[in-house]
Structure 1
Amino acid sequence: MSLLAVENLTVSFRQDGKTTQAVRGVSFSVDRGETVALVGESGSGKSVTALSTVSLLGDSAQVDGSITYDGQQMIGASPARLRQVRGNDISFIFQEPMTSLNPLHTIRRQLAESLELHQGLVGEAAHDRIVDLMTRVGIRDAAERLDSYPHQLSGGQRQRVMIAMALANKPDILIADEPTTALDVTIQAQILDLLAELKRSENMGLLFITHDLGIVRRVADRVCVMKDGEIVETGPTAGIFANPRHPYTQKLLAAEPSGAPDPVSDGAGEIARTDHLKVWFPIQRGLFKRTVGHVKAVNDASISVREGETLGIVGESGSGKTTLALALMRLIASEGGITFRDRDVRKWSTRELRRLRKDMQIVFQDPFGSLSPRMTCAQIIAEGLGIHHVDPDRDTRELVAEAMRETGLDPAAMDRYPHEFSGGQRQRIAIARAMVLRPRLLVLDEPTSALDMTVQVQIVDLLRDLQRKYGLAYLFISHDLKVVRAMSHKVLVMRHGDVVEQGPVDALFDDPQTDYTRALIAAAG
């Protein structure tokens, strides 16, 4: 008997008098000590299928079929039974940590809550377990980060906290929904090794949801390929990769960012530059909050980016990549020189900087956290148009529809809200919101991390086309080195706030000069 068995699962959602079928006739099983991967594009039904296992879908969902855990039916189970199973027997790692972590509670409190509820651990025993969990998932100086709030951690660090919470109670089944999306390649390798070790040592079943086929090849025993709510192909991993039979599976396996951006014109002007930029955050202790040290988030960074040029920024989570970009845009305080389009903007007031905001835009790493849940897709994309008076003579909805089509979204969905889109679709809304203003400099903070492989290729092609058409300069922050190589002219490597290496993309990838860069490239391969 399988530990988790899903048979003929059908999930429908009813809204405004209409019924939408998200999953149709899905069947698969997960045994102890086995990893099953659900693979497919955003919106294919992977996450809906996973959430159905312990009835985590909303009241608008109609779930039919059979889902059994350890022989017991989960569809229609009592609330008390579901509470017992959730987080204890079946645990989740969700795709977007900011939607799952409480912004008002420290990391210590959130991990301790789970340990006390399910294991009765409190006090020193709970503290030791929390430190051990955070250390195992790759958080440096774990004991010192326990009293941090989620917003004080990088995207990758928040994802690691989510993984620690999911593993805290040693579940029988771990359902991992894009668990390595926000992680750099070295930590990704560590997390995958950790999950494999736990699967072996705890005889745990693992349902792994991902769009990254490289990870699937590495961790999965069996693969289920989903498209439009159905499983179109299933089988052992080796067989699926060696001989894919369904055209959709063949398309997924062939999708990989490749090529290179157009060369930068010799006469291209400089868009932005930093000179010896430094961002140090004070560490304050005691009743009077005395400064006892500093977190050196960015230490002496000098960069330059020209019209039509992409500077890729790589490094582990917490290395200072995003902090560097935010400082360049004057969104956080810093020391050192900052020049934008030949103007020294270090001492500009907020009012003066507002005139430049149209020309410098950013796509944030976590689309759900950066999109207002109370605004429709059209309102989100159009907000900047009114503020910056872009194309006032054109119809706003027409401009929104054009931006949505450019980023692979259906304009017919412009009146829907963020929660009604998949994770990948929300990321595309964030890209459309920035692109609609036609900026001169665009900071892309992990813009493809939430996207499936086929859409990654589309977004890379889109960004290169827009760069070619408008002469855009990009700061491209990513842990996906394949995407960085396909997008970038130059690459900057950061570690612990320091710039350890920078240079032309081919030279850096083909002949890295530092051990750290070589380790990053090896982990990605």
Structure 2
Amino acid sequence: MTSNTLVSVKDLSVAFTQAGKTNLALDRVSFDIKKGETVALVGESGSGKSISALSILKLLPYPAASHPTGEIFYRGEDLLKADEKTLRKVRGNEISMIFQEPMTSLNPLHTVERQVSEILKIHRGMSDSKARERVLELLNQVGIHDPESRLNSYPHQLSGGQRQRVMIAMTLANEPDLLIADEPTTALDVTVQAQILKLLKDLQHERHMAMLFITHDLGIVRKFADRVCVMTKGQIVEHGPVKDIFENPQHPYTKHLLAAEPKGKPPVSDTTKQVVVEAEDLKVWFPIKRGFLRKTVGYVKAVDGIDVAVREGQTLGIVGESGSGKTTLGLAILRMISSTGKITFNGRDIQENSWKEMRPLRRDMQIVFQDPFGALSPRMSVSDIVGEGLKVHFPDLSAAERDRKVARALEEVGLDASTRWRYPHEFSGGQRQRISVARAMVLEPKFVMLDEPTSALDMSVQAQVVDLLRDLQKAHGLAYLFISHDLKVVRALANDVIVMRQGKVVEAGRAEEIFDNPKTDYTKALMAAAFRLETAPEGVVSE
């Protein structure tokens, strides 16, 4: 351990004991973090990245978790052997951590000021007035506009990017020597992601702070880290400077990760194909009501006069930041929320259809949601989940016929049909998303809305799901409405693209034109953030 080394992890193993059984989750992992450098831990879900990071601060669920081997030295002291008093001094003061999902990390009952100032009062013993001054200074440093107006805000009143900025302010409150960032940008739009990464890098240079950065996005690692450790199945299989790992990977798993980006091209755009779903001048306005009598004083124009056409065997990509109206547009087209304008499905006007009249059409209009774990009932087996729609739309099918259709649908999405008696928690994230796709496909629909279906998945699993969707489209002539903020995935799937901002279309056209030759500043900002991880042009994209 050199004098420049801040943290040294040596032969660290982690075991979890449950119901008398012990499983090894981490197997003799070793890495160092030097002062002022960024070390990235990369790998797929379940590889042991977060367990390694949580071990540094002893935040694992002890005593179920144990360390059969290993030492973690911070400034020469083994944290695994440190008492609680020493750990309290280190946690949040000398070593801080940003978690993946700020909405679940922030207390929904406490204001921004209370949550940030609490750290200052506990670790620095600051008075209320001094803490408030420091909170305002921190919020300003992390790029919260007009920080005074945000002091009394609650987490649900902030955007995703603003919540992550508040989390960063909390972690930097006591000027730590090491910042652990666990997937801090996974749930964010590409433009906000680029802003957060630049913010972290600027703060690191300013404070000469070390950083342990956990991610499955290799594009970020290439731009952001100094050294990288590649993890799989609880072990580090390759490590070294970022340039060496990316340009000359040695281990097969590293090569697999680097080759895992969604590839291939969508079918050629064909305007002669039959239009399956069409919308004209579609509007979804939500009234703003105020006062004792709840009078309407204005409207939130979530979707404001948009035209859409989705053709057989084609994919229309809808891109834009959170809050741009992408999902609202999709739900309106499916007649799941009220809207004005004309909506036709297979040439039939469905805008005025009642709920009862829409029910028979639901078989042909399906949806795959963003979070497969939240979309699948934990109380139902996979067989019941996939077969539920068959019971509704094909009530005359016998149990045996229904089971055959379920088995066939699971096999078509690449799952073993014998697993249909299991429950969702017994599957990985990628497998759960395949179950969601099977649930939609078992009804043999003509139109499928895909709402961020790959955003919660690892890069390699994303690529698999993209290939699956492309194969299913080719086999069944499906029309897709693909909603995403991941432009790399959209590029691999979509023939045509609509770019949305604040409920309006800012640019639309053939996918290759939008990606290769964007016309508007906003689209250029999205492309720059997605493909080069640069910050958006000033004033174009704002929090």
Q: What letter is aligned with 2:79?
A: M
Q: Check the 8 A contact 1:34/1:204 in 2, yes or no.
A: yes
Note if 1:239 corresponds to 2:281: no
Instruction: Provide the TM-score with structure 2 as the length reference.
Output: 0.82
Match of 2:250, SS state, is coil
Q: What letter is aligned with 1:208?
A: F
1:227 aligns with: 232
Match of 2:220, SS state, is helix
RMSD between aligned residues: 3.7
Note if 1:54 corresponds to 2:60: no
More displaced 10-residue stretch of structure 1: 344-353 or 120-129? 120-129
CA gap 1:377/1:5 in 2 versus in 1, 3 angstroms: farther
Deviations 1:263-293 (Å, cap 9, x if unpaired)?
Answer: 3566533222222222333444555555444
Deviations 1:297-326 (Å, cap 9, x if unpaired)?
Answer: 322222111222111111223222222223
Shift of 1:232: 0.7
Shift of 1:145: 6.8
Shift of 1:514: 1.4
Shift of 1:204: 2.0
Note if 1:260 corresponds to 2:265: yes
In the aligned structure 1, how far is the partner of 2:197 from the partner of 2:423?
Answer: 34
Q: What letter is aligned with 1:221?
A: D
Shift of 1:370: 4.0
Note if 1:506 corresponds to 2:509: no
Shift of 1:513: 1.9
Deviations 1:393-429 (Å, cap 9, x if unpaired)?
Answer: 4477776666566556677876776666665555555
Q: Check the 8 A contact 1:264/1:308 in 2, yes or no.
A: no
More displaced 10-residue stretch of structure 1: 203-212 or 226-235? 203-212
In the aligned structure 2, how far is the partner of 1:98 from the partner of 1:347?
Answer: 38
1:32 aligns with: 35
Q: 1:304 aligns with which of 305, 309, 312?
A: 309
1:491 aligns with: 497
Shift of 1:252: 1.8
Q: What letter is aligned with 1:474?
A: Y
2:96 aligns with: 91
In the aligned structure 1, how far is the partner of 2:274 from the partner of 2:475?
Answer: 16
More displaced 10-residue stretch of structure 1: 86-95 or 32-41? 86-95
In the aligned structure 1, how far is the partner of 2:463 from the partner of 2:339?
Answer: 35
In the aligned structure 2, how far is the partner of 1:251 from the partner of 1:515?
Answer: 35
Instruction: Provide the TM-score with structure 1 as the length reference.
Output: 0.85
Q: Check the 8 A contact 1:96/1:368 in 2, yes or no.
A: no
In the aligned structure 1, how far is the partner of 2:93 from the partner of 2:204?
Answer: 15
In the aligned structure 1, how far is the partner of 2:470 from the partner of 2:488?
Answer: 15
More displaced 10-residue stretch of structure 1: 260-269 or 442-451? 260-269
Larger Rg: 2
In the aligned structure 2, how far is the partner of 1:348 from the partner of 1:430?
Answer: 27
2:74 aligns with: 69
Q: 2:344 aligns with which of 339, 342, 349?
A: 339
Match of 1:95, SS state, is coil
Aligned length: 525
Shift of 1:346: 3.3
More displaced 10-residue stretch of structure 1: 142-151 or 428-437? 142-151
Q: 1:214 aligns with which of 209, 213, 219?
A: 219
Q: Check the 8 A contact 1:98/1:369 in 2, yes or no.
A: no
In the aligned structure 2, how far is the partner of 1:180 from the partner of 1:449?
Answer: 11
Match of 1:459, SS state, is helix
Q: What letter is aligned with 2:504?
A: D
In the aligned structure 2, how far is the partner of 1:285 from the partner of 1:71?
Answer: 60
Q: What letter is aligned with 1:61?
A: A
Shift of 1:261: 1.7
Match of 1:337, SS state, is strand
More displaced 10-residue stretch of structure 1: 121-130 or 495-504? 121-130
In the aligned structure 2, how far is the partner of 1:412 from the partner of 1:119?
Answer: 58
Q: Check the 8 A contact 1:103/1:151 in 2, yes or no.
A: yes
Deviations 1:133-170 (Å, cap 9, x if unpaired)?
Answer: 66766677777677776667666665555555544554
Q: Show structure 1 runs of 5+ residues with no match.
A: none
Note if 1:314 corresponds to 2:323: no
Q: Check the 8 A contact 1:157/1:317 in 2, yes or no.
A: no
CA gap 1:406/1:103 in 2 versus in 1, 3 angstroms: farther
Deviations 1:489-508 (Å, cap 9, x if unpaired)?
Answer: 00111122221010011122
CA gap 1:137/1:409 in 2 versus in 1, 3 angstroms: farther
CA gap 1:37/1:419 in 2 versus in 1, 3 angstroms: farther
In the aligned structure 2, how far is the partner of 1:27 from the partner of 1:134?
Answer: 36
Q: Check the 8 A contact 2:15/2:22 in 1, yes or no.
A: yes
Note if 1:278 corresponds to 2:283: yes
